[in-house]
Amino acid sequence: MTPSTLRIGYRYRPARLAPEYDAIVIGSGMGGLTTAALLSELGWKVCVLEQHYTAGGYTHSYERNGYEWDVGVHYIGDVGAQTQTRKMFDFLSGGRLEWAPMAAEYDRFYIGDKVFNAKAGKQEFRDNLLRQFPDEQQAIDDYMKLLAGSGGALSAFGMGRAMKPWQQSLAQPFLNWKTPDVFFRNTYDVLRELTDNKDLIAVLCGQWGDMGLPPKQSTFMVHAMIARHYLYGGYYPVGGAWKIADSIIPKIQKAGGEVFTYARVNQILVEDGKVRGVEMKDGHRIDCDCVISSAGVDNTFNHLLSADVVEQSSYENKLANVQPSFAHLGVYVGLARTAEELGLPRTNYWIYPSNDYDAAVDAFLKDKHAPFPVVYISFPSAKDPDYLNRHPGTATIEIVAPAPYEWFAEWRDSTWGKRGEDYDNFKAQLGERLMEHLYDKVPQTRGQVDYFEVSTPLSTDWFGGYHHGELYGLAHTPERMQQKWLRPQTLIPGLWLTGQDVLTCGVTGAMMAGMLTTMSMVGTRKMAPLMKQIYS
Ligand SMILES: Cc1cc2nc3c(=O)[nH]c(=O)nc-3n(C[C@H](O)[C@H](O)[C@H](O)COP(=O)(O)OP(=O)(O)OC[C@H]3O[C@@H](n4cnc5c(N)ncnc54)[C@H](O)[C@@H]3O)c2cc1C
């Protein structure tokens, strides 16, 4: 397979580095780029180091055989009006990022042999649920109230993470008062108190794949955050997901910084108890007393810091309270006809074997021949009004499904594209199974597929640096969401965290983590004018 030619960022060479930087950011995902761009706006010169050959982390796209696919962006909510999310995207991208709305029915759920959907708009969402479940008005209205009531608590949760420990202690009574009882309970238990209708619970949890945990394992807080995020529908970045990073990088360059690709950090250097810089894979040392890691908690504490530093700073015990999220398979499909010709929808499909999501996950983890507990199908070229300008006469489809990393662990030390026949056969079988789901739900695509390829958790490790193939960094369990040490400021002076592990997964979750990290670093006094500029 030939590597993608779609590249953004500047290829790292030691000679291309500036003599000095105010900060180093490890990882060019949404968390890293947001932090770097906001610091740049405040006059910092920031060096972003990305191990992949293109910038953007999970927001990157790739091209092969004349097709272009995204790896970690299918839809983004809350950008159809002048919301806080939209204002932040506008600011970071200098207004260059445009959004295309999906269909009003943005998510469709195939649950066993029944079909339900989610409709854009708070009232439309509620009324549509009621049409599908006419006997459940009370439960539906109670659910909408729970969502509405969680807005302030979600903001307070975020602000709590940005506070210093002493500020957090002082603010704790207020934060507790703001936090509804249901927040850290599991999603299923909370919804079960509203209704015993299992189909309704399944529909309300139909987006569980957006956080990677089925309802009996997930936190209601994250469920509510995602449900609110998409309440007004789904949007797609015009020109493809790679436009996100492409539109943010100029802000970093304008302040004298740069986003380097092929730039793998081997170690965060800590000397005399303080951060002193990083050592690159090629052995080059970059001195800087401020390092922000957006490479995830597992990478930062288990791979980039020495074991001594982790032990001395007492992170070892804390790490026992968090686990990696699920790993996944991706199928990237290319068709030599357009989305319009094929009648592909601007709706995501979620396919479930039954309304008991947790049981389906358990069965699948025990037996790889059991039905996939969820199959997600997305139609990016149908969502992107600019796609045909870049790839005329074609269409693309992406399929995502869970798969444990352990199934592939025996090939972990092999090289991408050269993992051998057994691996290729195994992933081809899995890919064929997933393609059958596509043909079942979109039968007109049968016979029209020109090309498809399959990614496994090893691809996620290879390209994204996630050593367990994690889909969303740390698993969003109730226990994880209550770990107060998952915050921007670490116990190691000069080391900061950002990205999806600080707050929650999602492009917006990582972006908001970037904002919180910047605020923690510079303080609210310096941040206030910038916030005013962004949100006015
Ligand atoms: C299949 C899939 C579908 C998704 N769909 C959506 C969606 O539709 N909508 C949505 O909002 N979210 C979606 N997400 C989630 C979203 O993409 C992520 O939560 C978010 O982009 C994470 O951003 P981040 O900056 O925290 O991490 P990342 O984007 O993962 O960035 C971390 C970066 O660090 C780099 N790195 C790691 N180690 C090193 C090192 N040693 N040296 C240098 N660089 C290093 C990695 O290469 C990576 O680029 C999806 C994710 C996946 C996997």
* Residue 66 and residue 381 in contact, taking contact as beta carbons nearer than 8 Å: no
Pocket of ligand 1 (CB under 6 A): 26-32, 49-52, 57-59, 72-76, 263-265, 294-295, 299, 328, 400, 464-465, 471-472, 499-500, 505-508, 510
pLDDT of residue 425: 95
Average model confidence (pLDDT) for the chain?
95
pLDDT of residue 384: 98
pLDDT of residue 156: 86
If you take atom 33 of ligand 1, which residue's CA is the nearest one?
A: 27
- Entry pTM: 0.96
Q: Average pLDDT, stretch 64-80?
A: 96
Residue with tokens 């290729």: 424
For the stretch 151-165, pLDDT in tens is 888 888 888 888 887
Q: Average pLDDT, stretch 401-414?
A: 95
User: HSE of 127 in the Cβ direction (CA atoms, 13 Å)?
Assistant: 6
For the stretch 189-229, pLDDT in tens is 999 999 999 999 999 999 999 999 999 999 999 999 999 99
How far is 9 from 400, CA to CA, in rounded Å? 27
501 contacts: CB under 8 Å, gap ≥ 6: 296, 297, 473, 474, 486, 513
How far is 128 from 292, CA to CA, in rounded Å? 44
For the stretch 277-310, pLDDT in tens is 999 999 999 999 999 999 999 999 999 999 999 9
Q: DSSP string of 159-226?
A: HHHHS-HHHHHHHHHHHHHHS-TTTTSBHHHHHHTT---HHHHHHHTTTGGGTT--TTTSBHHHHHHH
CA 60 – ligand 1 centroid, Å: 9
For ligand 1, what atom is nearest to the CA of residue 263? 43
Q: Could you tell me the pLDDT band of residue 127, with boundaries at 50, 70 and 90? A: very high
Q: What angle do CA 506, 508, 511 make, to 5 degrees?
A: 110
- pLDDT for 3 beyond 80: no
pLDDT of residue 532: 95
For ligand 1, what atom is nearest to the CA of residue 264? 42
Q: Average pLDDT, stretch 47-56?
A: 97
Nearest to 401 by CA among 430, 358, 359: 430
- pLDDT for 170 beyond 90: no
For ligand 1, what atom is nearest to the CA of residue 472? 19
pLDDT of residue 180: 82
Pocket test for ligand 1, best of 70, 73, 226, 498 (most atoms within 8 A of CB): 73
pLDDT of residue 186: 94
Q: Could you tell me the pLDDT band of residue 4, with boundaries at 50, 70 and 90? A: confident
- pLDDT for 263 beyond 80: yes
If you take atom 3 of ligand 1, which residue's CA is the nearest one?
A: 72
pLDDT of residue 435: 98
Q: Which amino acid is at 56?
A: G
